[in-house]
C-alpha cells in the first residue's frame, strides 16, 4: 500500500515530515474534535511560539480551527521551505501550499530552525550557517511577542497589546486567502513549475497607473498580457484613479479592487462557504479555487483568461499556441524548427536551417494563415502590399518574418516585420497571417504537434549543496522503517477520517490540467425550477428538449434546456464527462454553457441567454439587413470552424439550422446546441455512435441517407450551405415547392451569364443596399458547401477564409 522501496537516502526524512505532521494533527483532531479557542493562549508548539523559542524541521504550528498548518515543507531532496498549507491533504495526497518564507533559498532538513529571538526578531537559519536565510526584521520593545497562526491562515507576530509586528498576509507568495488583501507593495509571483516552488515568470501586480495586471517576464523578455494590452484600461472596464491600490476577496467569493476589477466566483453566495484561494498559477493564469471537500479536489471558480493562448510566454520562442479543449492548449514549433527542451515548452524551438547572410535578398516566405506573434515589431507599415512587405523583411537583417493583416476598418493591409517570434498564436478566429522568412531552397517541413504533458512531474534535485551530511547507515535504515510504519498508519487515518464515508478517486490531478472551466457549475433541480419559475416561460423546442428562460440568484438571465426524459439514458457521471468538455469550449461564436443539472430522472443544461432569439425567428422579418446577414454567415462559419478544427473533429454539430443559430443584442451570431448529438439517444456499443438520419430534413447532407458513407464534419458544412442559401433567398428548404433542393434552384438562376443573376436570387423582402461582390461570393461559397460529394465541399475554416477575403 505504501511503497517505500522507491525512496532513498536522506529523502526519507523529507518524505516523513509532512506526513508525520498530518498524522499528529489527525490525532489531535480525533481526540479533541472541537479544539476550543482556549488553546490559543498556549504559546508553545503547535499553537504558538513564544520569545526565545524555536521550531525545528519536525515541528509545526496549527491554527485553532486546525484548517491551516505552518511548518517546514520538503521541496526537494533534503531541502525545506518554511510554509503554510491547508492541513488536510487532497484526494491525491498532496498538500496545497499557501505561503513560503524562503521559496528561493531552501534550507537543510536537519538542524535548520525558525526562531523567535529575545529581541522580537523572527529568523530562519540554515544548519550551521551564521547569517539567517530569512528574517522579519522586527523588534519588540515590550518583550512580549508571540507568533501564532490564526483561523484565517495568517501567521501573526504580535505583542501583548495585540499590536501586529509582522504578518504573513503582508508578504504573499503566489496565493491570497479570503480577506487577505492584494496590495501595491506585494505582488503575487507564480512558482517556477508545478514541482518547483521558487519564483517563476508570472506576476500579478498593481501597475503605475493603479490597474491590476498580469505580466510575463523572464531574463530576456517582459510583457503585460492582461487586461488585453491592445485596449486602454477603461476599455477593459478598469479605472486608473484608485490610487489606494488594494484588492480583496471576501469569504463568500466576491472580489473587488480599487481599479474596478470586480468578479463573483461561480459559487459565490451559494450559502455554504467552501475554503477558497486565489492563486497566480504557474501557467500564467490567475484563478479562484474552491475546495470540494467530498472529492478532495480544488475546483476553479473564476479565472482571469479563458483563452489560455493569450497568456504570454507559454509556448516559448519560435512556436505557436492553439486552443485544445482536451489539453487546454497545445504548442507547435514553426515549420523547420525543433523543440529545444523536450520536457519544457518555455525554452521554445530552434531553427533547423542556417539563416542566410544578411542582404542576400533571396529569402523565401512561408505563409502561415490564422497566425500571429504578438509584439516585437521592427516597424509598422500601413497600406502596404504583400510584395512591399516581403521586400522590407528581406532588407532588414534581423527580420524573422512578418505579420500581414487586412484591416476592414481602415480598408487596407498592414505589415508588421518582426525581430522576435514570441507569444505565438494560431486560431481560426484570427484573421491575419504570418510569413516566416526561410532561406531560399529550404523545403518547408511542418513540425509534429506535441502535447504539453502536465501529468509527468519530474523528480527534483536541489542544486544547492550542503557540506554537512553525517547521516549514517543505521539511522537511515531506522528512518526508512519509521517512514513506512507511520506512512501506513497515516494512510489509514486519512482514509478513516476524511474519506471514510465517500468513495473517492485518486486519479484527479490538481492544477494545470484543469477539469472544469471557470463559471461552469452543477445546479440543483430546485434551483433551476425556481430560476425558471417552475418552467413557465418556454422560449424554444427541439434538439431533445424544451428551452425555458430563467433568472439565476445572481440575476444572470439564462436559457435552461430540459432534456426529454426519454432521450437520455446515461448516468450522471457520463453526462458530466460530456458536458464539462462542452463547457470548456470557448469561442465568441458559440453559446456558452454555464452549468448542468443531473438529479434523478432530470437532466438540464444551463446556457447564456441570447436577447434576439434564433436566426429562424428573425429571418422572415425585415430586422436583419444585408450587412448583418453577411456577419451572421461569417460568425457562424467561425463558430463551426472552431468546433471542427481546433477540436480536431471532436465535435460535429449534426443539426445546423436557423433555429440553432442564436443572436445576441447586436445580432451577432452564436451557434447553439452543439455536442448534443453525442449527448442524446446514445445506444451505447458501436463507436461511430450516430444513429442514422440525425438532424432536420431539408438541412441534412446526402450521406445521412446512405448507410455506407462515413459521417464527417462535412455534414455540418452541407447544412451550413443550406442555411446560407435560405438567408440569402428567404426560401425555406423545409417547405415544399423546391423539392427540398434549394441549391439546384439557385444554381439554375445563376446559369444566365448576365450580371443581374444575384438580383434574381436575393430575398426581395429585405430592404436596403447590398454589396453585389460580397453577395456573389457568399452565394458561390454556399453552393460549394452544398455539393453532393462531401470531398468537394470546403472545410469550415476554408469558408471563413473565403468570406474574409472578399475584396
Ligand atoms: C487573522 O489576522 C488578521 C490580521 O491580524 C485579522 O484581520 C483576522 O481577523 C484574523 N483572523 C482571525 C480568525 O482571527
Ligand atoms: C456579485 O454578487 C452580488 C450579490 O449577488 C451582486 O450585487 C453583484 O452585482 C455581483 N457582481 C458581479 C460582478 O456579478
Ligand atoms: C529541460 O528542462 C528540465 C527542467 O527545466 C531540465 O531538468 C533538463 O535538464 C532540460 N533538458 C535539456 C536537454 O536541456
Ligand atoms: C528562433 O529562431 C530564430 C531564427 O528564426 C533564431 O535566431 C533564434 O535563436 C530562435 N530562438 C531560439 C530560442 O532558439
Ligand atoms: C493606400 O495606398 C494607395 C496607393 O499608394 C492609395 O491610392 C490609397 O489612397 C491609400 N489608402 C489609404 C486609405 O490611405
Ligand atoms: C527551480 O527553479 C529555479 C529557477 O529557475 C532553479 O534555479 C532551481 O534550480 C530549480 N530548483 C529545482 C529544485 O529544480
Ligand atoms: C434585439 O435586442 C435588442 C437589445 O436587447 C432589443 O432592443 C431589440 O428589441 C431586440 N430585437 C428583437 C427583434 O427582439
CATH number reported for the structural domain that contains residue 574 in this entry: 3.30.200.20
Nearest CA to ligand 7 atom 7: 665
Q: What is the pLDDT of residues 524-573, one digit of tens each?
A: 999 999 999 999 999 887 667 889 999 988 888 999 988 877 655 566 66
Among 549, 609, 612, name the best residue to mutate to test ligand 7's pocket (greatest count of ligand atoms within 8 A of Cβ): 612
Q: What is the pLDDT of residues 337-394, one digit of tens each?
A: 988 988 778 888 999 888 766 666 678 898 888 889 988 888 899 999 999 999 999 8
Q: Which atom of ligand 3 is nearest to the CA of 193?
A: 5
Q: Does one domain contain both 77 and 199?
A: no
pLDDT at res. 449: 44
Cα–Cα distance measured from residue 92 to residue 508, given in angstroms and rounded to the nearest whole number: 7
Q: Does one domain contain both 88 and 31?
A: yes
Pocket lining: 109 vs ligand 4, CB cutoff 6 Å = no
Pocket lining: 666 vs ligand 7, CB cutoff 6 Å = no
Query: In a 10 Å sphere around its CB, with 0-12 CB exposed, 13-18 middle and 19+ buried, how is residue 642 labelled?
Result: buried
Q: Are 76 and 462 in contact (CB under 8 A)?
A: yes
Q: Which atom of ligand 6 is nearest to the CA of 79?
A: 13
Q: Does one domain contain both 244 and 125?
A: no
pLDDT at res. 315: 85
Cβ-count burial 205-229 (b if 16+ within 10 Å, e if not)? bbbeebbbbbbbeeeebebbbbbee
Cα–Cα distance measured from residue 298 to residue 284, given in angstroms and rounded to the nearest whole number: 18
Q: Does one domain contain both 82 and 107?
A: yes
Of 549, 581, 608, the residue at which a domain comes to its end is: 608
Alpha carbon of 623 to ligand 7 centroid (Å):
10
Q: Does one domain contain both 636 and 749?
A: yes
**C-alpha pair distances (Å), 446 with each of 485, 554, 609, 619:** 54, 48, 41, 44
Nearest CA to ligand 5 atom 7: 383
pLDDT at res. 801: 79
Whether pLDDT at 201 is above 50: yes
670 pLDDT band, cuts 50/70/90, is: very high
Nearest CA to ligand 1 atom 3: 154
pLDDT at res. 632: 93
Pocket lining: 198 vs ligand 6, CB cutoff 6 Å = yes
User: Residue 659: which CATH number?
Assistant: 1.10.510.10
pLDDT at res. 364: 87
Q: Which atom of ligand 4 is nearest to the CA of 348?
A: 13
| Domain that includes residue 343, residue range | 319-438
Q: Which atom of ligand 6 is nearest to the CA of 460?
A: 13
Give the count of domains, the chain.
5
Alpha carbon of 337 to ligand 4 centroid (Å):
9
Among 219, 316, 318, 368, name the best residue to mutate to test ligand 4's pocket (greatest count of ligand atoms within 8 A of Cβ): 318
- Of the chain, the percentage scoring pLDDT greater than 70 comes to 76
H-helix or E-strand spanning residue 525: helix 525-531
Q: What is the mean pLDDT of the chain?
A: 77
User: Which residues form the catalytic set?
Assistant: 655
Q: Does one domain contain both 176 and 137?
A: no
Q: Which atom of ligand 2 is nearest to the CA of 263?
A: 13
Q: Does one domain contain both 723 and 745?
A: yes
426 pLDDT band, cuts 50/70/90, is: confident
Pocket lining: 341 vs ligand 3, CB cutoff 6 Å = yes
pLDDT at res. 454: 26
Q: Does one domain contain both 395 and 343?
A: yes
Tell me, yes or no, whether 510 lies in a domain. Answer: no
Q: Are 188 and 170 in contact (CB under 8 A)?
A: no
Tell me, yes or no, whether 368 lies in a domain. Answer: yes
Task: For residue 46, say if its preceding peptide bond is cis, omega within 30 degrees of 0.
Answer: yes
Q: Is 109 helix (H, G, I), strand (E, B) or coil?
A: coil
210 pLDDT band, cuts 50/70/90, is: very high
Tell me, yes or no, whether 453 lies in a domain. Answer: no
Q: Cα 92 to chain center, whole Å?
A: 22
Contacts of residue 94, Cβ cutoff 8 Å, sequence gap at least 6: 510
Whether pLDDT at 503 is above 60: no
Tell me the longest C-alpha to C-alpha distance in the chain: 100
Among 619, 665, 667, name the best residue to mutate to test ligand 7's pocket (greatest count of ligand atoms within 8 A of Cβ): 665
pLDDT at res. 513: 30
Pocket lining: 418 vs ligand 4, CB cutoff 6 Å = no
Tell me, yes or no, whether 737 lies in a domain. Answer: yes
Q: Does one domain contain both 646 and 679?
A: yes
- Min mean pLDDT across 298-307, 401-410, 486-495 is at 486-495
Strand pairing class (60-62; 424-426)? unpaired
Q: Which atom of ligand 2 is nearest to the CA of 554?
A: 5
Radius of gyration of the chain (CA): 31
Pocket lining: 76 vs ligand 6, CB cutoff 6 Å = yes
Q: Which ligand is nearest to the CA of 348?
A: 4
Of 575, 608, 641, the residue at which a domain comes to its end is: 608
Q: Are 76 and 104 in contact (CB under 8 A)?
A: no
Tell me, yes or no, whether 532 lies in a domain. Answer: yes
Q: Are 645 and 428 in contact (CB under 8 A)?
A: yes
Among 381, 382, 383, name the best residue to mutate to test ligand 5's pocket (greatest count of ligand atoms within 8 A of Cβ): 383
Q: Does one domain contain both 28 and 106?
A: yes
Helices (H), 709-790: 714-729, 742-751, 757-761, 772-785
Tell me, yes or no, whether 219 lies in a domain. Answer: yes
Of 169, 203, 235, the residue at which a domain comes to its end is: 169
Q: How open is the CA angle 367-372-376, to the nearest 5 degrees? A: 110
Q: Which ligand is nearest to the CA of 610?
A: 7
Q: Which ligand is nearest to the CA of 169?
A: 1
Pocket lining: 342 vs ligand 3, CB cutoff 6 Å = no
Q: Does one domain contain both 780 and 658?
A: yes
Q: What is the pLDDT of residues 603-652, one digit of tens each?
A: 888 998 998 888 988 887 778 888 889 999 999 999 988 887 664 445 67
Cα–Cα distance measured from residue 258 to residue 657, given in angstroms and rounded to the nearest whole number: 46
Tell me, yes or no, whether 131 lies in a domain. Answer: yes
Output phi, psi for 351, to 5 deg: -70, 150
Tell me, yes or no, whether 460 lies in a domain. Answer: no
pLDDT at res. 23: 47
Alpha carbon of 556 to ligand 3 centroid (Å):
47
Pocket lining: 743 vs ligand 4, CB cutoff 6 Å = no
Q: Are 137 and 43 in contact (CB under 8 A)?
A: no
Q: Pocket residues for ligand 2 (CB within 6 Å)?
A: 254, 262-264, 268-269, 554
Q: Does one domain contain both 251 and 133?
A: no
Q: What is the pLDDT of residues 263-316, one digit of tens each?
A: 998 888 777 789 999 999 988 999 999 998 888 889 888 889 877 788 888 888
Amino acid at each position: 500500500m505504501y511503497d517505500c522501496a522507491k525512496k532513498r537516502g536522506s529523502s526519507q526524512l523529507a518524505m516523513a515530515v509532512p506526513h508525520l505532521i498530518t498524522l499528529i494533527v489527525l490525532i489531535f483532531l480525533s481526540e479533541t474534535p472541537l479544539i476550543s479557542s482556549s488553546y490559543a493562549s498556549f504559546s508553545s508548539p503547535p499553537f504558538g511560539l513564544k520569545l526565545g523559542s524555536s521550531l525545528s524541521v519536525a515541528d509545526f504550528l496549527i491554527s485553532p480551527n486546525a484548517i491551516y498548518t505552518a511548518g517546514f515543507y520538503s521541496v526537494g531532496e533534503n531541502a525545506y521551505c518554511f510554509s503554510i498549507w491547508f492541513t488536510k491533504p487532497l484526494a491525491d495526497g498532496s498538500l496545497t501550499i499557501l505561503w513560503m518564507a524562503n521559496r528561493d533559498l531552501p534550507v537543510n532538513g536537519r538542524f535548520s530552525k525558525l526562531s523567535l529571538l529575545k529581541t522580537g526578531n523572527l529568523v530562519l537559519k540554515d544548519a550551521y550557517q551564521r547569517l539567517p536565510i530569512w528574517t522579519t526584521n522586527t523588534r519588540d520593545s515590550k518583550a512580549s511577542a508571540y507568533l501564532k497562526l490564526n483561523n484565517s491562515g495568517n501567521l501573526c507576530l504580535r505583542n501583548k497589546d495585540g499590536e501586529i509586528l509582522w504578518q504573513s498576509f503582508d508578504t504573499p507568495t503566489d496565493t491570497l486567502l479570503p480577506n487577505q488583501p492584494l496590495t501595491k507593495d506585494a505582488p503575487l509571483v507564480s512558482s517556477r513549475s508545478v514541482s518547483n516552488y521558487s519564483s517563476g515568470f508570472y506576476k500579478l501586480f498593481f501597475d503605475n497607473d493603479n490597474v491590476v495586471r498580469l505580466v510575463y517576464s523572464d531574463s530576456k523578455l517582459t510583457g503585460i498580457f492582461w487586461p488585453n494590452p491592445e485596449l486602454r484600461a477603461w476599455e477593459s472596464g478598469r479605472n486608473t484613479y484608485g490610487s489606494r491600490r488594494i484588492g480583496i476577496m471576501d469569504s463568500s467569493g466576491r472580489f473587488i479592487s480599487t481599479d474596478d476589477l470586480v468578479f463573483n466566483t461561480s459559487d459565490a453566495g451559494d450559502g455554504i462557504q467552501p475554503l477558497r484561494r486565489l492563486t497566480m498559477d504557474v501557467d500564467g493564469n490567475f484563478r479562484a479555487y474552491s475546495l470540494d471537500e467530498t472529492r478532495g479536489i480544488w475546483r476553479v471558480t473564476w479565472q482571469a483568461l479563458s483563452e489560455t493562448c493569450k497568456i504570454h510566454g507559454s509556448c516559448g520562442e519560435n512556436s505557436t499556441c492553439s486552443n485544445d479543449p482536451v489539453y487546454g492548449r497545445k504548442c507547435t514549433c514553426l515549420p523547420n524548427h525543433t523543440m529545444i527542451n523536450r520536457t519544457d515548452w518555455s525554452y521554445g524551438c530552434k531553427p533547423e536551417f542556417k539563416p542566410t547572410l544578411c542582404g542576400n535578398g533571396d529569402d523565401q516566405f512561408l505563409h502561415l494563415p490564422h497566425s500571429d506573434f504578438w509584439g516585437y515589431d521592427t516597424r509598422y507599415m500601413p497600406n502596404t502590399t504583400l510584395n512591399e512587405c516581403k521586400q522590407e523583411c528581406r532588407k532588414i537583417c534581423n527580420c524573422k518574418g512578418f505579420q500581414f493583416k487586412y484591416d476592414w476598418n481602415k480598408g487596407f493591409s498592414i505589415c508588421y516585420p518582426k525581430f522576435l517570434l514570441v507569444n505565438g498564436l494560431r486560431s481560426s478566429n484570427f484573421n491575419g497571417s504570418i510569413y516566416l522568412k526561410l532561406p531560399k531552397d529550404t523545403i518547408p517541413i511542418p513540425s509534429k504537434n506535441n502535447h504539453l504533458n502536465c501529468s509527468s512531474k519530474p523528480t527534483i534535485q536541489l542544486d544547492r549543496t550542503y557540506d554537512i551530511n553525517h547521516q549514517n547507515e543505521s539511522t537511515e535504515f531506522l528512518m526508512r522503517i519509521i517512514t513506512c510504519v507511520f506512512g501506513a498508519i497515516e494512510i489509514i487515518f486519512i482514509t478513516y477520517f476524511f474519506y471514510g464515508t465517500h468513495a473517492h478517486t485518486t486519479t484527479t490531478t490538481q492544477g494545470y490540467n484543469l477539469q472544469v472551466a471557470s463559471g461552469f457549475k452543477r445546479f440543483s433541480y430546485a434551483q433551476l425550477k425556481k430560476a425558471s419559475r417552475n418552467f413557465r416561460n418556454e422560449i424554444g423546442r427541439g434538439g431533445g428538449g424544451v428551452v425555458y428562460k430563467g433568472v439565476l440568484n445572481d440575476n444572470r438571465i439564462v436559457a435552461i434546456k430540459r432534456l426529454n426524459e426519454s432521450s437520455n439514458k446515461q448516468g450522471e457521471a457520463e453526462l458530466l464527462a460530456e458536458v464539462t468538455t462542452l463547457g470548456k469550449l470557448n469561442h465568441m461564436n458559440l453559446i456558452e454553457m454555464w452549468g448542468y443539472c443531473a438529479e434523478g430522472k432530470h437532466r438540464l443544461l444551463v446556457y447564456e441567454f441570447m436577447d434576439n432569439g434564433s436566426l429562424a425567428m428573425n429571418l422572415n422579418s425585415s430586422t436583419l439587413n444585408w450587412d448583418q446577414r453577411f456577419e451572421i454567415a461569417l460568425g457562424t462559419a467561425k463558430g463551426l470552424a472552431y468546433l471542427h478544427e481546433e477540436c480536431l473533429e471532436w465535435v460535429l454539430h449534426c443539426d445546423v439550422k436557423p433555429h440553432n443559430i442564436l443572436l445576441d443584442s447586436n445580432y451577432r451570431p452564436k451557434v447553439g446546441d452543439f455536442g448534443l448529438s453525442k449527448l442524446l439517444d446514445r445506444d451505447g456499443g458501436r463507436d461511430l455512435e450516430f444513429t442514422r438520419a440525425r438532424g432536420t430534413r431539408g438541412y441534412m447532407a446526402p450521406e445521412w441517407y446512405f448507410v455506407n458513407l462515413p459521417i464527417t464534419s462535412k455534414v455540418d458544412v452541407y447544412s451550413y450551405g443550406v442555411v446560407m442559401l435560405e438567408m440569402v433567398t428567404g426560401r425555406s428548404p423545409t417547405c415544399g415547392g423546391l423539392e427540398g433542393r434549394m441549391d439546384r434552384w439557385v444554381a439554375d438562376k445563376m446559369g444566365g451569364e448576365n450580371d443581374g443573376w444575384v438580383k434574381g436570387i436575393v430575398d426581395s423582402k429585405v430592404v436596403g443596399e447590398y454589396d453585389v461582390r460580397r453577395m456573389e461570393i457568399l452565394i458561390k461559397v454556399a453552393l460549394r458547401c452544398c455539393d453532393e460529394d462531401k470531398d468537394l465541399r470546403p472545410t469550415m475554416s476554408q469558408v471563413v477564409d473565403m468570406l474574409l477575403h472578399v475584396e
